[in-house]
Amino acid sequence: MNFSELVAMRYSVRDYRPDPVDEADLAMVLEAARLAPTACNKQPFRLVLIRTHGRQEELQRIYGRPWFGAAPLVLGVCAVEAEGWVRRDGKNHAEIDAAIVMDHIIMAATERGLGTCWVCNFDPVATREVLHLPDGVEPLAFTPLGWPADQARAKVRKPLAELVLNR
The three state secondary structure string of 30-91 is HHHHHCCCCHHHCCCEEEEEEECCCCHHHHHHHCCCHHHHCCCEEEEEEECHHHCCECCCCC
Instruction: Supply the minimum distance, in Å, between the C-beta of residue 23 and ligand FMN.
Output: 26
138 SS3 class: strand
The 63-102 site mask, x for binding ligand FMN (CB under 6 A), equals ----------------------------------------
Instruction: Supply the minimum distance, in Å, between the C-beta of residue 117 and ligand FMN.
Output: 5
Instruction: Supply the minimum distance, in Å, between the C-beta of residue 51 and ligand FMN.
Output: 21
The 9-28 site mask, x for binding ligand FMN (CB under 6 A), equals --xx----------------
CA distances from 102 to 1, 150, 159, 162 (A): 20, 22, 25, 26
The binding site for ligand FMN (CB under 6 A) comprises 11-12, 117-121, 155
